Amino acid sequence: MTSLLPAITRETRSDKPVDAAVIWLHGLGADGNDFAPIVPELRLPSSMSVRFIFPHAPSIPVTINGGYIMPAWYDIKQADVSRRVDDVQLRRSAAAVHAFVRQQQEGGIESRRIILGGFSQGGAVVLEAALSCPLPLAGVMSLSSYFPTADSVTVSDANQTLPVLICHGSQDTVVDESLGKQSEKALRELGYQPEYHSYPMPHSVCPQEIRDISLWIQRLLS
């Protein structure tokens, strides 16, 4: 069994048992602290008791950064539109996400009330993780990201109709929005009906996107 990575945990309620979880992966060179502050910004209703888990990626050499060792979910070998990545490492990170799903399920949260989310590199990992997860999930969100394993992912029977949210910035110079649109197209070809949002922002998040993510989470977990 895959051991759990270190992670930051935030809960929306301290006076009520948690009945849902969001596992949210950061981007290249960041760590779990990057998105932990977003929890109060989502302004989820007080009736919802949700656990947010922000894992830390291991530190590995990254080819496009001259082999510099930094937090990364997988090695990126080329920074062009082809985004040649280390698929073995990506799937290893997806397995680490599956371990968090199992942990939450064993702790009493039904897997159908677990959402996976990720930004940039993290978004690529959660697309692979969600579609291949043997346990049925609530949904997956990929933010400012791409889908490098679209042609090789083994889709689980449990998640063939999974809700998918894709958000991307039209001014993104790190991960061009064309890659987000390619993800949407690939998911549709796999039989999914992703919800796609574009924002006039760079490689980041913006207030309107946070509102849209909140509404999407509320819809799935209501």
User: What amino acid positions are annotated as catalytic residues?
Assistant: 120, 172, 203
Backbone φ and ψ of 97, nearest 5°? -65, -40
Question: Which of 139, 146, 101 lies closest to 123, judged by CA?
Answer: 146
Query: Within a 10 A sphere around the Cβ of 189, how many other Cβ atoms?
Result: 10
Alpha-carbon torsion angle 221, 42, 10, 60, nearest 10 = 100
Residue 4, both tokens: 């759990």
Give the dihedral sign, CA 98/212/45/9. positive
